[in-house]
Structure 1
Amino acid sequence: MTTETKDQVSQSDSRAGGLLAGIRVIEFASVIMAPYATQQLGDLGADVIKIEPPGGDMTRGMGAHRHPGMGGATLNLNRNKRSVVIDAKAPHGREAIEALAATADVFVTNVRPDAMERLGLTADVLREINPRLIYARGQGFRSDSPLRDRAAYDDIIQAASGLVSLNHQVSGEPYFVPTVLADKICGMQIAQSVLAALVYRDRTGEGQSIEVPMVDTMLAFNLVEHLAAATLDPEAPFGYRRALSTTRKAQRTADGWMCILPYNDRNWRDFFTFVDRTELIDDPRFRSMSTRADNADDLYRLVAELTPSRTSAQWQEFCDRVSIPAGPVLDLKAATETDYAHAGGLVVDAEHPTEGTYRLVANPVHYSVDPNPTMRHCPSIGEHTAEVLTEIGCAAMLAPSESATDMNGAHR
């Protein structure tokens, strides 16, 4: 197929400003991992074009909603994007996607390798059309492994990367972490990798393909502290002892729950003095960071016995005064309603054109030089199909026999 290059096609994204203004990202993905990566790029000003299947990305059905396809998760996950519905299996579907790739800087997908090969949308194909393209793929397992096409979602990755086993070791139950941790960490890794590749392309003019295997990414993440003694001795047990203590948990106070974490030697001296247990300062079990780690179960059990002697306010005042890390245990609702959270503007009320007032989770990173990109609310399914296809010279695909609505198609 002959397509125009990015330089030949007008970029008419109506947003203004942002650190990534002028960068076009094509999202051919679903669920959370890759859409979370592109959300971050969109928040920085990139023109993110989201290709959706019939009925929309499955996250559109997650959580409460006022209108179908506009569930709670999708309002934030798909902000700062334009939605286009294209069936990659339809007569003109692949042609439209190739035309989009020709205008793009980045193509992000989490579709499994075998499916992308069947669709003819591999890195080799799209980078032949656009050599400057950065093609980023997130998937469960490496494409050079026998597991390359195995289905993988967050729970599977938590199990395969040792995270569930860590929970089992501490609690006695093989719990999953109660958040889609692997999806979000791998999404951040995709975004980071794309930004690095953009810098490299600016220096060399060369695009590239990127693969972010979820198991590898999460295993590397978990091994930061848990490789521990096995770093030097392959026969040594894995695991950071303090983190794996069965008594490491929030502490009860006289009127609530807090996390009180004396960390260095001075912190522990101040803590033991405050609770009138100065004899523990020279206890050989707690004399140094190393011995405290070795005896973490005893130490945290002791702390739990001592903290109910004061109220949470008394503990906070003391800890702040002597610089011991401490803070109350907050549920998610309370965490969004503190003075700190309000002042930071992380969660604010926004007005969606069709969904009304909703809570917007802002970008938590602050830049000293920030062009402050114009906000684009989450689009409805296929809202920008005609607009985008017209931009890339594919308006003919919107003939009555093949309307924007008819171009829906599953791609996962």
Structure 2
Amino acid sequence: MPGPLDGVRVLDLTSNFMGPYASLLLADMGADVSKIESPAGDTTRGIGPCRNRGMGPIFLHLNRNKRSLVLDLKSAGGNAALKRMIRGADVLMHSLRPKAMARLGLSYADARTINPGIIYCGMHGFGQNGPYADRPAYDDLIQAAVGMPVLQSRKAGPPDYVATAIADRVVGMAATSAVSMALFRRERSGEGQEVQVPMFETFAHFVMGDHLYGHTFVPAMGDWGYARMMNPDRRPYRTLDGYIGVNVYIDKHWQRFFEVSGHPEMAEDPRFADIHGRTQHIGLLYEFLGRVFETKTTAQWAKLMTEADIPFIEMNTPESLLADPHMKEVGFFVEEEHPSEGTLRSLGIAQQWSESTPELRYPAPRLGEHSVELLAEYGFSEKEIDDLTGSGAVYAAEPHRTRHGD
């Protein structure tokens, strides 16, 4: 069954994390994503362990359900080929600086001239109407610019980055949403358009909804920063034999927890009677939780929390998550045979659809694996394709052969 975006053709000129994550989400929903790579390939191909050069784990997870076409856009032939493909595409996505796209003759004005209905999505470091417009941007830089390391430092130690590419992936999700909404509008109006998704502003929107806090008011009413989120004792709690994640949050949760933990008198303390008071004294409560959870095993607390209907979960590592009973039951981690990389563990598609169910259609591609196939689908003749590959404007990978030649 085709996914909800079946039939939508996407030319994806992005690389690294942010853009490929955006196009991954579109591809998982059924969009036909042509991953346009330079002859050097996406930078993430070289990250981490691999069985074959250029097929590292980050790349494999970010680029499934896509097909790879290698074009040298600085060559006349490769540049002309992409412009011809724009005629038959629905979406063009890029993460280059606008000036670089303009030098290639691939600005929105250029693309719109070729195909007035194109949805043209540029993912930039900064809004193009501000003084930072031409600056380069990466996840670490955007985390720093928005203040995420300072927020982390309120918990413990010097300023520090979050241990995942959180800005790249959040902004990638925003780009996916923007492209989908632009496609929806085109269905109603028939009009294409340009959508710019800047990292700095998008991630600031994500973070500051929590942490503008007292500065929401003019003049400010207290400090910035949501105190509960930054408290150093907001963490998984050690038990006698492991760790547990617990979110004692609303009034009834706290009342029940004070009871089952053997401290019913705390329910009468006015400091802890409602969320306003608990927020002001959250440090005391987190210290209390830290002491109490160390008195029983994880299994004992799991039983008590379940009976009291208090939100909890056992803490996993990335490795133990593979054996998590819920993840195993829903089939989130999928083992598949990659044509060139052997047995791989893939991440499932999290949503469930009653109709138009998304599927894992293609494994992550080798560099230039689908160059000939995609050019043919976009209307290039066999001779034209031979000319492009012969000139070096296009690179096409050799068909994969197994060890036994079958």
TM-score, with length taken from structure 1 = 0.92
The CA deviation at 1:24 is: 0.2
Give the match for residue 399 of structure 1.
386
Structure 1 pair 362/91, CA: closer, same or farther in 2 (3 Å)?
same
Aligned pair 1:327/2:313, yes or no?
Answer: yes
Deviation at 1:358, TM superposition (A): 0.4
Q: For the residues of structure 2 that align with 1:313 and 1:75, how far apart are their CA atoms?
A: 37
Distance 1:310 1:95 in 2: 68
1:319-350 deviations in whole A, cap 9, x for unaligned?
A: 11111111111111111211101111111100
Report the count of equivalent residues. 393
- Write the deviation string for residues 188-236 of structure 1: whole angstroms up to 9, x where unpaired: 1011111111110000000110011001011000122212232233423
Query: Which of 17, 21, 33 is residue 36 of structure 1 equivalent to?
Result: 21
Decide which moves more: 98-107 or 257-266: 257-266
Report the Cα offset of residue 181 of structure 1.
0.3
The separation in 1 between residues aligned to 2:388 and 2:26, in whole angstroms, is 35
Q: What is the one-letter code of the residue matched to 1:249?
A: R
- Superposed CA deviations along residues 332-381 of structure 1, whole A, max 9, x for unmatched, are 11112111011111111000111110011111111121344461111111
Identify which of 104, 124, 129 aligns with 1:144: 129
Q: Give 1:400 shift.
A: 5.2
1:352-371 equivalences under 5 Å are 352-371=338-357
Output the CA distance in 2 between the equivalents of 1:100 and 1:407. 13
Distance 2:71 2:260 in 1: 66
The 3-state SS of whatever aligns with 2:44 is helix
* 1:57 aligned residue (42, 59, 62): 42
Which moved further from structure 2: 390-399 or 114-123?
Answer: 390-399
Which secondary structure state, in structure 2, belongs to the residue aligned with residue 350 of structure 1?
Answer: strand
| Correspondent of 1:156 among 136, 141, 152 | 141
Taking the aligned partners of 2:19 and 2:391, their CA distance within structure 1 comes to: 24
Matched residue, 1:193: 178
* Contact residue 167 and residue 174 of structure 1 kept, 8 A: yes
State whether structure 2 residue 53 is matched by structure 1 residue 68.
Answer: yes
* 1:96 paired to 2:84: no
Shift in Å, 1:405: 5.5
Give the whole-Å Cα distance in 1 for the aligned partners of 2:388 and 2:3.
39
User: Residue 273 of structure 1 aligns with which residue?
Assistant: 259
Q: Corresponding residue for 2:231? A: 245
Q: For 2:376 and 2:390, how far apart are their aligned partners in 1?
A: 13
How far apart in 2 are the matches of 1:167 and 1:405? 48
Q: Does 1:106 align with 2:91?
A: yes
Query: What amino acid is the match of 2:107?
Result: T
* Residue 64 of structure 2: aligned partner: 79
After superposition, the C-alpha distances for 1:127-186 in whole angstroms (9 at most, x for unaligned) are 111111000111110111221121110000000112111012221311100000000011
Residue aligned with 1:170, SS:
coil
2:158 maps to a residue whose letter is E
1:9 maps to what in 2?
none
Cα offset for 1:27?
0.2
Query: 2:182 aligns to what SS in structure 1?
Result: helix
Bigger drift between 353-362 and 228-237 goes to 228-237
Conserved? CA contact 1:90–1:407, under 8 Å: no
1:317 to partner: Cα distance: 0.9
Which residue of structure 2 aligns with residue 172 of structure 1? 157
SS of residue in 1 equivalent to 2:273? coil
Instruction: Report how far residue 314 of structure 1 moved.
Output: 1.1
Kept in 1, the 8 Å contact 2:2–2:357? The answer is yes
Structure 1 residue 53 displacement after superposition: 1.1
Partners of 1:234 and 1:354 in 2: CA distance: 61
Structure 2 distance, partners of 1:64, 1:93, is 32
Task: Give the secondary structure class of the aligned counterpart of 2:111.
Answer: helix
For 1:47 and 1:401, the matched residues in 2 are separated by 23
Between 87-96 and 221-230, report the one with greater CA deviation.
221-230
Q: 1:401 to 1:121 in 2, by over 3 A?
A: closer
Q: Distance in 2 between matches of 1:397 and 1:62?
A: 34
Letter matched to residue 32 of structure 1: F
> Relative to 1, partners in 2 of residues 1:187 and 1:278: Cα closer, same or farther, differing over 3 Å?
same
Aligned counterpart in structure 2 of residue 130 of structure 1, from 95, 104, 115: 115
Could you say what secondary structure the match of 1:319 adopts?
helix
Q: Give the superposition deviation at 1:39.
A: 0.8
Q: What amino acid maps onto 2:135 in structure 1?
A: R
Do the aligned residues in 2 keep the contact of 1:85 with 1:404 (CA within 8 Å)?
A: no
* Counterparts of residues 13-24 of structure 1 (less than 5 Å): 17-24=2-9
Could you say what secondary structure the match of 2:155 adopts?
helix
Amino acid at match of 1:407: V
What SS class does the counterpart of residue 294 from structure 2 fall into?
helix
CA contact under 8 A between 1:55 and 1:69: conserved in structure 2? no
Q: Distance in 2 between matches of 1:112 and 1:140?
A: 8
Gap regions ≥5 residues in structure 2? 396-406
Evaluate the alpha carbon distance shift between residue 383 and residue 404 of structure 1 in structure 2; reply closer, same or farther with a 3 A threshold: farther
Asked whether the equivalents of residues 85 and 405 of structure 1 are also in contact (C-alpha less than 8 Å), the reply is no
Residue 329 of structure 2 is matched in structure 1 by 343
- Which amino acid in 1 is paired with 2:37? E
Residue 264 of structure 1 aligns with which residue?
A: 250
Q: Residue 91 of structure 2 contacts residue 121 of structure 2 at CA under 8 Å; is this kept in 1?
A: yes
